Structure 1
Amino acid sequence: MAMISLRILGIGLLVPLLVGCQSGQAEMASLSGVDVVGKADHCNRQSPGLSLARSMSEFPDVDGLLPAGEGALKAGRDVLVIYLGQRPTPGYGAELRQAQTVEKVLTLSLEATRPDSDAMMAQVITTPCVALAIPDEGWSSLYVEMDSDGFPLSLEASAGR
Protein backbone atom coordinates (compact mmCIF):
# COMPACT_ATOMS: atom_id res chain seq x y z
CA MET A 1 0.00 0.00 0.00
CA ALA A 2 2.87 2.39 0.72
CA MET A 3 4.32 1.78 -2.75
CA ILE A 4 0.99 2.70 -4.39
CA SER A 5 0.76 5.92 -2.37
CA LEU A 6 4.30 6.92 -3.30
CA ARG A 7 3.67 6.35 -7.00
CA ILE A 8 0.62 8.60 -6.88
CA LEU A 9 2.65 11.44 -5.36
CA GLY A 10 4.85 11.68 -8.44
CA ILE A 11 8.60 11.95 -8.76
CA GLY A 12 8.72 15.67 -7.86
CA LEU A 13 7.32 15.01 -4.40
CA LEU A 14 8.96 11.61 -3.96
CA VAL A 15 12.59 12.79 -3.83
CA PRO A 16 12.16 15.29 -0.94
CA LEU A 17 10.00 12.78 0.90
CA LEU A 18 12.63 10.04 0.67
CA VAL A 19 15.48 12.40 1.54
CA GLY A 20 13.57 13.58 4.62
CA CYS A 21 12.95 10.01 5.77
CA GLN A 22 16.53 8.96 5.20
CA SER A 23 18.03 11.97 6.93
CA GLY A 24 15.71 11.50 9.91
CA GLN A 25 16.72 7.87 10.27
CA ALA A 26 20.42 8.67 9.89
CA GLU A 27 20.18 11.47 12.43
CA MET A 28 18.49 9.18 14.95
CA ALA A 29 21.10 6.46 14.42
CA SER A 30 24.03 8.83 14.77
CA LEU A 31 22.60 10.41 17.93
CA SER A 32 21.88 7.12 19.61
CA GLY A 33 24.91 5.16 18.43
CA VAL A 34 22.66 2.28 17.32
CA ASP A 35 22.52 1.01 13.73
CA VAL A 36 20.62 -1.83 12.06
CA VAL A 37 23.32 -4.06 10.57
CA GLY A 38 21.29 -7.01 9.34
CA LYS A 39 17.97 -8.80 9.05
CA ALA A 40 17.12 -12.42 8.30
CA ASP A 41 13.98 -14.55 7.92
CA HIS A 42 15.36 -17.81 9.30
CA CYS A 43 17.15 -17.30 12.62
CA ASN A 44 16.36 -20.68 14.18
CA ARG A 45 14.75 -19.37 17.35
CA GLN A 46 11.13 -20.34 18.01
CA SER A 47 10.37 -17.72 20.66
CA PRO A 48 11.25 -14.02 21.03
CA GLY A 49 14.60 -13.32 22.66
CA LEU A 50 17.82 -11.33 22.77
CA SER A 51 21.41 -12.36 22.14
CA LEU A 52 24.39 -10.07 22.78
CA ALA A 53 27.58 -10.77 20.81
CA ARG A 54 30.90 -9.16 21.66
CA SER A 55 33.01 -11.43 19.48
CA MET A 56 32.52 -13.61 16.40
CA SER A 57 32.49 -16.74 18.59
CA GLU A 58 29.36 -15.35 20.32
CA PHE A 59 27.67 -14.29 17.07
CA PRO A 60 24.82 -16.56 15.90
CA ASP A 61 25.39 -18.52 12.70
CA VAL A 62 22.55 -17.00 10.68
CA ASP A 63 22.66 -16.52 6.90
CA GLY A 64 22.38 -12.83 6.04
CA LEU A 65 23.65 -11.51 9.37
CA LEU A 66 27.28 -12.64 9.33
CA PRO A 67 28.97 -10.04 7.06
CA ALA A 68 27.42 -6.98 8.71
CA GLY A 69 27.75 -8.41 12.20
CA GLU A 70 31.39 -9.23 11.64
CA GLY A 71 32.07 -5.70 10.39
CA ALA A 72 30.43 -4.12 13.45
CA LEU A 73 32.31 -6.40 15.84
CA LYS A 74 35.64 -5.66 14.14
CA ALA A 75 34.85 -1.93 14.50
CA GLY A 76 34.65 -2.44 18.27
CA ARG A 77 30.87 -2.41 18.65
CA ASP A 78 28.63 -4.95 20.33
CA VAL A 79 25.88 -6.60 18.27
CA LEU A 80 22.45 -7.29 19.71
CA VAL A 81 20.34 -9.84 17.84
CA ILE A 82 16.61 -9.51 18.46
CA TYR A 83 14.66 -12.66 17.68
CA LEU A 84 10.97 -12.17 16.83
CA GLY A 85 9.99 -15.82 17.31
CA GLN A 86 8.10 -18.09 14.94
CA ARG A 87 5.88 -16.47 12.28
CA PRO A 88 3.50 -18.12 9.77
CA THR A 89 4.87 -16.50 6.57
CA PRO A 90 7.78 -14.42 5.28
CA GLY A 91 7.45 -10.64 5.53
CA TYR A 92 7.68 -10.18 9.30
CA GLY A 93 10.46 -8.08 10.77
CA ALA A 94 11.26 -5.03 12.89
CA GLU A 95 12.33 -1.44 12.30
CA LEU A 96 14.34 0.60 14.80
CA ARG A 97 12.33 3.69 15.79
CA GLN A 98 14.16 5.10 18.80
CA ALA A 99 17.23 4.40 20.93
CA GLN A 100 18.18 6.25 24.08
CA THR A 101 20.25 5.74 27.20
CA VAL A 102 18.89 7.03 30.50
CA GLU A 103 20.57 6.19 33.81
CA LYS A 104 22.64 3.37 32.25
CA VAL A 105 19.57 1.72 30.64
CA LEU A 106 19.77 1.49 26.84
CA THR A 107 16.15 1.44 25.62
CA LEU A 108 15.50 0.34 22.06
CA SER A 109 12.04 0.93 20.60
CA LEU A 110 11.18 -1.10 17.54
CA GLU A 111 8.10 -1.30 15.37
CA ALA A 112 7.01 -4.73 14.19
CA THR A 113 6.54 -5.02 10.43
CA ARG A 114 4.08 -7.43 8.92
CA PRO A 115 3.29 -8.48 5.37
CA ASP A 116 0.47 -6.58 3.69
CA SER A 117 -2.87 -8.21 4.50
CA ASP A 118 -3.66 -8.66 0.80
CA ALA A 119 -0.18 -9.93 -0.17
CA MET A 120 0.18 -13.40 -1.63
CA MET A 121 2.60 -15.13 0.74
CA ALA A 122 3.94 -18.66 0.80
CA GLN A 123 2.83 -20.57 3.87
CA VAL A 124 6.37 -21.08 5.16
CA ILE A 125 7.15 -20.81 8.84
CA THR A 126 9.87 -18.23 9.48
CA THR A 127 11.86 -17.18 12.55
CA PRO A 128 12.92 -13.60 11.73
CA CYS A 129 15.52 -11.54 13.56
CA VAL A 130 17.22 -8.17 13.31
CA ALA A 131 20.82 -7.35 14.31
CA LEU A 132 21.73 -3.98 15.81
CA ALA A 133 25.22 -2.58 16.34
CA ILE A 134 25.13 -0.91 19.75
CA PRO A 135 27.67 1.07 21.77
CA ASP A 136 30.02 -1.12 23.80
CA GLU A 137 29.95 1.29 26.75
CA GLY A 138 27.66 3.68 28.60
CA TRP A 139 24.93 1.20 29.60
CA SER A 140 24.45 -1.64 32.08
CA SER A 141 21.11 -3.03 30.93
CA LEU A 142 19.13 -3.23 27.72
CA TYR A 143 15.39 -2.88 27.36
CA VAL A 144 13.76 -3.73 24.02
CA GLU A 145 10.16 -2.76 23.40
CA MET A 146 8.13 -3.65 20.35
CA ASP A 147 4.45 -3.93 19.47
CA SER A 148 4.61 -7.72 19.13
CA ASP A 149 3.89 -10.83 21.19
CA GLY A 150 6.71 -11.71 23.57
CA PHE A 151 7.91 -8.14 24.11
CA PRO A 152 9.19 -6.17 26.00
CA LEU A 153 12.43 -8.01 26.69
CA SER A 154 15.40 -7.00 28.83
CA LEU A 155 19.00 -8.09 29.24
CA GLU A 156 21.44 -7.33 32.04
CA ALA A 157 25.06 -7.09 30.93
CA SER A 158 28.11 -5.09 31.84
CA ALA A 159 29.05 -2.63 29.13
CA GLY A 160 32.52 -2.80 27.68
CA ARG A 161 34.64 -5.65 26.45
Structure 2
Amino acid sequence: MRFIKITVLVLALTLAAGCSVSRSATADGAPLARQVTESDHCGLTAPGLVYISNASELEKLASLPAGNLSVNQLRAIDLEREHLVLVGLGQRPTGGYGLTLESAEIIDDVLELTLNARKPAQDAMVTQALTTPCAIIAITPEDWERLRVSGDGLDTMTREQ
Protein backbone atom coordinates (compact mmCIF):
# COMPACT_ATOMS: atom_id res chain seq x y z
CA MET A 1 0.00 0.00 0.00
CA ARG A 2 2.85 2.36 0.87
CA PHE A 3 4.51 1.61 -2.49
CA ILE A 4 1.31 2.61 -4.34
CA LYS A 5 1.07 5.90 -2.41
CA ILE A 6 4.71 6.76 -3.17
CA THR A 7 4.24 5.86 -6.85
CA VAL A 8 1.12 8.05 -7.11
CA LEU A 9 2.95 10.92 -5.40
CA VAL A 10 5.93 10.64 -7.77
CA LEU A 11 3.61 10.56 -10.79
CA ALA A 12 1.67 13.59 -9.52
CA LEU A 13 4.87 15.58 -8.97
CA THR A 14 6.14 14.60 -12.42
CA LEU A 15 2.89 15.74 -14.04
CA ALA A 16 2.90 19.00 -12.10
CA ALA A 17 6.46 19.74 -13.20
CA GLY A 18 5.57 18.87 -16.77
CA CYS A 19 2.69 21.37 -16.87
CA SER A 20 5.11 24.23 -17.41
CA VAL A 21 5.21 24.71 -21.17
CA SER A 22 8.43 26.06 -22.62
CA ARG A 23 9.25 26.64 -26.30
CA SER A 24 12.09 28.37 -28.10
CA ALA A 25 10.69 28.19 -31.67
CA THR A 26 7.35 28.56 -33.43
CA ALA A 27 5.35 25.51 -34.50
CA ASP A 28 6.94 25.66 -37.97
CA GLY A 29 10.47 25.94 -36.53
CA ALA A 30 11.04 29.69 -36.97
CA PRO A 31 12.72 31.62 -34.14
CA LEU A 32 10.40 33.31 -31.66
CA ALA A 33 12.43 36.52 -31.93
CA ARG A 34 15.25 38.02 -33.96
CA GLN A 35 17.08 41.29 -33.67
CA VAL A 36 16.36 43.45 -36.71
CA THR A 37 18.52 46.46 -35.90
CA GLU A 38 19.87 48.69 -33.17
CA SER A 39 20.62 52.37 -32.98
CA ASP A 40 22.48 54.82 -30.76
CA HIS A 41 19.79 57.46 -31.36
CA CYS A 42 16.25 56.06 -31.18
CA GLY A 43 14.79 59.17 -29.62
CA LEU A 44 13.31 57.56 -26.47
CA THR A 45 14.70 59.53 -23.55
CA ALA A 46 13.28 57.18 -20.90
CA PRO A 47 13.87 53.42 -20.67
CA GLY A 48 10.97 51.35 -21.98
CA LEU A 49 9.48 49.33 -24.76
CA VAL A 50 7.28 50.17 -27.71
CA TYR A 51 5.14 47.43 -29.27
CA ILE A 52 4.44 47.77 -33.00
CA SER A 53 1.81 45.54 -34.59
CA ASN A 54 0.67 47.57 -37.61
CA ALA A 55 1.80 50.16 -40.16
CA SER A 56 0.27 53.18 -38.39
CA GLU A 57 2.19 52.37 -35.18
CA LEU A 58 5.35 52.07 -37.27
CA GLU A 59 4.73 55.52 -38.77
CA LYS A 60 4.38 56.99 -35.26
CA LEU A 61 7.80 55.55 -34.47
CA ALA A 62 9.20 57.11 -37.63
CA SER A 63 7.97 60.52 -36.53
CA LEU A 64 9.95 60.63 -33.27
CA PRO A 65 11.74 64.00 -33.40
CA ALA A 66 15.10 62.87 -32.01
CA GLY A 67 15.05 59.43 -33.61
CA ASN A 68 17.60 58.27 -36.12
CA LEU A 69 16.19 54.86 -37.06
CA SER A 70 16.27 53.30 -40.49
CA VAL A 71 12.50 52.91 -40.77
CA ASN A 72 12.71 51.74 -44.40
CA GLN A 73 14.26 48.49 -43.17
CA LEU A 74 11.38 48.10 -40.70
CA ARG A 75 8.73 48.77 -43.37
CA ALA A 76 9.96 45.67 -45.21
CA ILE A 77 8.80 43.44 -42.34
CA ASP A 78 5.44 41.70 -42.79
CA LEU A 79 3.60 42.89 -39.67
CA GLU A 80 0.96 40.17 -40.19
CA ARG A 81 3.61 37.52 -39.50
CA GLU A 82 5.90 39.36 -37.09
CA HIS A 83 5.42 42.25 -34.71
CA LEU A 84 8.18 44.63 -33.62
CA VAL A 85 9.38 45.52 -30.15
CA LEU A 86 11.60 48.54 -29.64
CA VAL A 87 13.50 48.27 -26.34
CA GLY A 88 15.16 51.50 -25.27
CA LEU A 89 17.77 52.16 -22.61
CA GLY A 90 16.75 55.80 -22.25
CA GLN A 91 19.12 58.75 -22.47
CA ARG A 92 22.80 57.99 -21.83
CA PRO A 93 25.64 60.52 -21.34
CA THR A 94 28.01 59.10 -23.99
CA GLY A 95 28.27 56.61 -26.82
CA GLY A 96 29.17 52.98 -26.21
CA TYR A 97 25.80 51.81 -24.88
CA GLY A 98 23.61 49.28 -26.66
CA LEU A 99 21.33 46.26 -26.50
CA THR A 100 21.64 42.78 -27.98
CA LEU A 101 19.04 40.01 -28.00
CA GLU A 102 20.38 37.00 -26.12
CA SER A 103 17.42 34.60 -26.13
CA ALA A 104 13.67 34.21 -26.59
CA GLU A 105 11.43 31.59 -25.03
CA ILE A 106 7.73 31.12 -24.37
CA ILE A 107 7.11 29.89 -20.84
CA ASP A 108 3.49 29.42 -19.73
CA ASP A 109 2.04 31.96 -22.21
CA VAL A 110 4.79 34.52 -21.50
CA LEU A 111 7.21 35.45 -24.29
CA GLU A 112 10.48 36.00 -22.42
CA LEU A 113 13.06 38.13 -24.24
CA THR A 114 16.46 38.29 -22.60
CA LEU A 115 18.70 41.13 -23.73
CA ASN A 116 22.24 42.12 -22.91
CA ALA A 117 22.65 45.81 -22.06
CA ARG A 118 26.15 46.96 -22.97
CA LYS A 119 27.92 49.92 -21.46
CA PRO A 120 31.37 51.28 -22.24
CA ALA A 121 34.35 50.25 -20.16
CA GLN A 122 35.63 52.84 -17.68
CA ASP A 123 38.70 53.54 -19.80
CA ALA A 124 36.96 53.34 -23.21
CA MET A 125 37.16 56.22 -25.65
CA VAL A 126 33.55 57.12 -26.49
CA THR A 127 31.70 59.90 -28.24
CA GLN A 128 30.87 62.78 -25.95
CA ALA A 129 27.22 63.16 -26.93
CA LEU A 130 23.89 62.27 -25.40
CA THR A 131 22.57 59.03 -26.88
CA THR A 132 19.27 57.13 -26.70
CA PRO A 133 20.26 53.53 -27.59
CA CYS A 134 17.74 50.87 -28.47
CA ALA A 135 17.27 47.53 -30.19
CA ILE A 136 14.39 46.55 -32.45
CA ILE A 137 13.31 42.93 -32.23
CA ALA A 138 10.90 41.10 -34.55
CA ILE A 139 8.76 38.64 -32.57
CA THR A 140 6.10 36.07 -33.29
CA PRO A 141 2.65 37.45 -32.35
CA GLU A 142 1.29 33.96 -31.64
CA ASP A 143 1.07 31.59 -28.67
CA TRP A 144 1.72 34.09 -25.88
CA GLU A 145 -0.34 36.49 -23.78
CA ARG A 146 2.32 38.56 -22.03
CA LEU A 147 5.69 39.89 -23.14
CA ARG A 148 8.50 40.15 -20.59
CA VAL A 149 11.79 41.84 -21.46
CA SER A 150 14.69 41.57 -19.03
CA GLY A 151 18.42 41.09 -18.87
CA ASP A 152 21.64 42.01 -17.18
CA GLY A 153 21.77 45.80 -16.83
CA LEU A 154 18.12 46.18 -17.87
CA ASP A 155 15.00 46.73 -15.77
CA THR A 156 12.28 44.13 -16.34
CA MET A 157 9.50 45.42 -18.59
CA THR A 158 6.20 43.67 -19.33
CA ARG A 159 3.30 44.18 -21.68
CA GLU A 160 0.05 42.33 -22.26
CA GLN A 161 -0.64 41.36 -25.86
TM-score by length of structure 1 reads 0.72
Could you say which residue in structure 1 is the equivalent of 2:159?
155
Aligned-residue identity in percent: 33
| Alignment correspondent of 1:108 | 113
Report if aligned partners of 1:112, 1:148 keep a CA contact under 8 Å in 2. Answer: yes
2:150 partner SS: strand
Q: Residue 56 of structure 2 corresponds to which residue in structure 1?
A: 57
Partner AA of 2:125 in structure 1: M
Pairwise CA distance, 1:148:
2.2
Q: Hey, what's the Cα distance between the residues in 2 that align with 1:135 and 1:141?
A: 12
Structure 1 residue 75, shift from structure 2 partner: 6.3
For 2:141 and 2:126, locate their aligned partners in 1 and report how far apart those are by CA, in whole Å.
Answer: 38
Backbone CA RMSD of aligned residues: 2.3
CA 1:146/1:70 → structure 2, altered by over 3 Å: closer, same or farther? Answer: same
Tell me what 2:142 maps to. Answer: 137
Matches of 1:31 and 1:56, distance apart in 2? 23
**Residue correspondence of structure 1 range 4-153 to structure 2 within 5 A:** 32-59=31-58, 60-61=61-62, 62-74=67-79, 76-148=81-153, 151-153=155-157
Answer yes or no: is the 8 Å Cα contact 2:34–2:138 preserved in 1.
Answer: yes
Runs (4+) of structure 1 exceeding 4 A deviation are none
With the length of structure 2 as denominator, give the TM-score of the two structures: 0.72
Which runs of 5 or more residues in structure 1 are unaligned?
1-26
Letter of the 2:128 counterpart: Q
Conserved 8 A contact 1:80-1:131: yes
Q: Distance in 2 between matches of 1:141 and 1:93?
A: 24
Aligned length: 130
